[in-house]
Each structure stands twice: as structure tokens, then as C-alpha cells.
Structure 1
């Protein structure tokens, strides 16, 4: 019978050590089992733990902006009644109405459909639906474009967005459905200006 000393066990490869443990358990060799388990625990503790992969520059920007958009949403929610209950109450007779949650489940700006399908690098947004109209504020970065090319976009029904352009002009890469022909859009390079336009549109749609 082999004398499984600590030194002999320590000299085994991980694979052989695990095999020895299985055999020891089959034979109910308590002392060897304990030595194998101790050695395995020691080896696992010594292995470097894999941390989360660092965010890319684009992902870091997306995370930051999703938080900044959420802050705008929180500010607007304190200024206007954007509750789902009020939205539903004002949608009587609107077929298929579904109230929009202002933010995602984690309290950040929501993930847009164009980012979900991979047609753009970033689309994060906040929105409120009232009746058959929706007011949207989001950040938009075309696929493979440098971060500095990002835009903040406000989309709303034409009556609620002064100076708005057809969505197709602001988002030429969008599908026909995403171009929302009944709506208009404005594009900004800075969030405060976009937030002001979003605020003005919300004031009208919630009046």
C-alpha cells in the first residue's frame, strides 16, 4: 500500500490528485481524502482569480451616458407625472397601448432596438408614452464610428417638437419602421441642449 505523504501528494499534477481523491473516496480512505482535499483547496486558492473583463472605451462611454440619461429621466419624473398609471388612464381608446417604463430595471437608460439588433454601436434612451404619442431622448452612435461622433436625439410627435426634422433625415440607417414617419426628430451634440428639448416636449405631451 502506498504511503501518501503530504510531499508525495504535493508532487502530483492536478489531474492525478483528483484521480487519487476519487480512488480514496471509493476505498473510504479518510486520511488520504483529507490530504487530497486540503491540497486541492490550497491549489485553488493560489490560482489567480479571473476578474471581469475591462470595458472597452465604447462600453465605458455607453455606461456613463446611460447613467447621465437616467439622471435626466429622474429629474423629469420629479417635474411631471410620468407614472405608468397616469399614462394608461390617458390612453383610453388607444388600441394596443402599452405604457413605457422611463428607465430600465437597473435604473439606467434603456437599451434601444437598433443596438439590440447590432445595426448601431450605441442606442440608449429614456421615453414616455402618453396616448398615441411618445417622447424619446437617447444617445446614438453609428456602427464603427468614433465615440466623438455620438449624437443626442429627441424624437416626438410633430406637434410637440418645434423645428423637428423627419426621423429618416436624422437616422438615415434606420429601418422603415424605425423611421417613425408620424414623428419628428432633433439631433444635438450635447446632452443639456437635448434634455431641454425633451423637457419642452414632455411639457406639451403631459399637459
Structure 2
């Protein structure tokens, strides 16, 4: 497992996911008015309000998808993990997760190349920040999904301690006294043991653990 981790935690990762969702309509509402003012659209073309409103609808559709993916990838993690994470113990899982995020990543690369090579002043450059944010989010999610989970915390007991140990408290007291008696040269008969020590088969699971 690669351990070089990203320098930010869950809050910044969720902020990155929010930029993916909100950045789409925000960029669209900057891009299309700029195109309209530049006069490069045909006078017979549809109004620019149509793609602008479509971007809001698409952001609403993306909202649960982005949130679910982000939550699943960050579940039981302390931070965003490593961009280069790879689980050598489960290579098939690592390859499958990488493939799932690599497909949309590859679809975004042509747009990124087009925006980087666009001439200065071209309006398509407005999409460059959003494309970079989207590709970076995909890379972060892949790395987080393959990074080690935080399993260092022991499971929290949800049952009262008295309930667990109530059936054994008396036996413990007797056994301590019996050990002291034996150490002093005394003896213990079988009837005393049967009366003080409960039958293990009669204990519930929590009392046995106690």
C-alpha cells in the first residue's frame, strides 16, 4: 500500500466535491453570456438561456451521485488518502476501482487538451478551471477508495458494564477469598464451589465475555 498522503482531510475533500457540483452551472453562466456578447453565435441559433438552464438541471442530477461517491470513498478514513494508493493484497479490486474512475477521467482529457491549446482570449478557457477540478476530484476519489481504512479504534461496547459482569461478581469475590484460604493452608469443599461458581452454560454471551 502506497502511504504518501494528500495534505488535506475530509472537509477540503467535501469542498472539492461541492466545487464539482456548483462549478458546472457557475461556469456555464459565465461562458454562455461571454459567447453571446462576442457575437460568434448565429442570429438564428437558439437562445443561450437553454444551455444555461440545462447546466442547473445537470447539477441537480449530479448532486446525489457526487455525494454518494464521495461519502463511500471517505467512509472510515481520516483524510483523503493517497493519489497513488494501490492495494497490493487485492490487485483485482485496485484495478477495478482504477478502471471505474479512469473512464470518465479519459473522457475529460480531450477537453483539457483543447482548453490548454486554445488561443488567448478564447472563451473556452472559462472551462479550464472546472475541468481541472473535475479531473482532480476523480483522482482523489480513486486514491481515497484504495487507501487504508481507519480500523485502529476498538469497537465500542453498547451494553452496560453491570449487565455483563453482574453474574460473575459474586463468583470473583468467592474465588479471591478461596485463594486466600488455600494460601493459608485451608481447604474448600465441592459444595462451596458449586454454590459460588455459576454454571457456564447458564450464562449469556456477555456474561461469558465478562
TM-score range, shorter chain: under 0.3
TM-score (structure 2 length as normaliser)? 0.25
Bigger fraction of residues in strand: 1
**Structure of higher CA gyration radius:** 2
Bigger fraction of residues in helix: 2
TM-score (structure 1 length as normaliser)? 0.25
Q: Which has the higher contact order (CA 8 A, sep 6+)?
A: 2
